[in-house]
Structure 1
Amino acid sequence: MFTGIVETIGTVESYITTDSSESGGDDNSGVSLTITDASSILDDCHLGDSIAINGTCLTVTKFDSNSFKVGISQETLRLTNLGYLQKGDKVNLERAVSGDVRFGGHMVQGHVDTIAEIISIKNDSNSIIFGFKLRDFKLINYIVHKGFICLDGTSLTVIDVNYTDATFKIMMVAYTQQKVIMPLRKLGDWINVEVDLTGKLIERQINTSLENQLIDKQSSLYKLIDRLIDEKLSKLN
């Protein structure tokens, strides 16, 4: 679990597309990523620890005082922007939370849902307004005005949503701009998106409740539907 408060910015040292099985894939499709400039988050690191890279929860398979290595599965490559990384690119880094960490952002799983394209960048005084378009349109239903969203591992607040176009906007204040990689991005770049887990949980609970009521003849919903059908049939007769 993460908070969406980026701890430091690392640098891609190497991106290897054919690696041993320790990378997280098999010998033919394994992918490994080594991140450097990460000393500030490695003082308490252990093998097997979770570190979010651009909001993607990954497992440390090797590390030293300044760098660490993770494996990336093919499923992760399909869902995230990690496959676009090249040597020298900057990435947001955050360790998994410990018991004494304040939740300055929001509850982030590190399970990226999809990617979004940057379609607009506009300066607003000392802030920047970024506009995005989702690759997977259906996920726009989990994004709400003034709700949480995690972009490349950064907890942000949605300031505008267009459900028809599957687009949304966020505003980034000057302080945050200095701590994350978003200001380095340009139009057309792809950003990792994790929608707020709360919306998905509520939807699942509602769907489950409706499904159960539809098969329970004693439920209020079943009785309501039955009554409405009877009323319609009586009018036809």
Structure 2
Amino acid sequence: MFTGLIEEVGVLRSVSGGGEMMVLSIGASLIMDDLKIGDSVAVNGVCLTATSLGDSHFTVDVMPETYRNSTLKELRPGSRINLERAMAAGGRFGGHIVQGHVDGTGEIRSVKRNQNAVVFGIAPERKDLFKFIIPKGSITIDGISLTVVTAEAATFTVSIIPHTLGETILNHKRPGDRVNLECDVLGKYVDHLLHYGSRAGDEEAKGSSKISHDFLAANGFV
């Protein structure tokens, strides 16, 4: 689990592999202090496992599922990367619950300055993600815990302070660039529980439910 507070901006040293698999070698310094093989690292918001370590770099494997559903396939040597180690027990929880399980990607449509803040307008490629994107709710963009300002038909906005901008790769993003999106996990669980048994192919779940209109009426709920 992560918090969405970026610890360091690393640099991609090399990419190897083929097809829909990748091995990334990432240069870093701060997070290398106690990083071990097998540890989880959020790489632009994607939870990956450190598979080897050097003095100032580590490697991670990217499997086809991750390749297809994130922007990691667009990285090239020299690309800047947001990095965060998994949250330590007893640490301060400064952001929100971030799993590193990307729900999809989005395109930056606008970048506008608003006094001491910069407002990013982002269009998710999957429109169904909007059921989880609500004003004042949390969202993770390239691993950064942010607060939604507005959510409209096709885009949502986030407002970013200079410190966050300067300490993350968003400082180098422009309209047309793509970012990884992870919606608030609480909303995803609520949605699943509310609709469990009503989705196509869930006949067994439908039949096993003991809650009906008659049950609710008999117990004073309706």
TM superposition score normalised by structure 2: 0.89
Q: Percent sequence identity over matched residues?
A: 37
Equivalent residue of 1:205, what SS? helix
Structure 1: tracts of 5 or more residues without a match = 19-27, 226-237
- CA deviations 1:120-172 (Å, max 9, x no partner) are 1100112100000011111111111100000000000000001x32x100000
Q: Take 1:6 and 1:98, find their aligned partners in 2: how far apart are those partners? A: 14
C-alpha change, 1:13 and 1:214, in structure 2 (3 Å) is closer
Q: In the alignment, which of 72, 78, 81 is matched to residue 82 of structure 1? A: 72
Equivalent residue of 1:42, what SS? helix
Q: Take 1:207 and 1:43, find their aligned partners in 2: how far apart are those partners? A: 44
Structure 2: tracts of 5 or more residues without a match = 218-222
Aligned to 1:126: 116
- 1:101-112 matches, cutoff 5 A: 101-112=91-102
Aligned to 2:11: 11
Larger Rg: 1
Deviation of 1:222 after TM superposition, in Å, equals: 4.9
Equivalent residue of 2:146, what SS? strand
Equivalent residue of 2:136, what SS? coil
- Superposition RMSD in Å: 2.3
Deviation of 1:218 after TM superposition, in Å, equals: 7.0
1:117 aligned to 2:87?
no
Give the aligned residue type for 2:3: T
Give the aligned residue type for 1:109: Q
Q: Which has the higher helix share?
A: 1
Aligned to 1:181: 169
1:63 aligned to 2:49?
no
Deviation of 1:178 after TM superposition, in Å, equals: 1.5
Deviation of 1:98 after TM superposition, in Å, equals: 1.3
C-alpha change, 1:192 and 1:224, in structure 2 (3 Å) is same
Are the equivalent residues in 2 in contact too, given 1:214–1:221 (CA < 8 A)? no
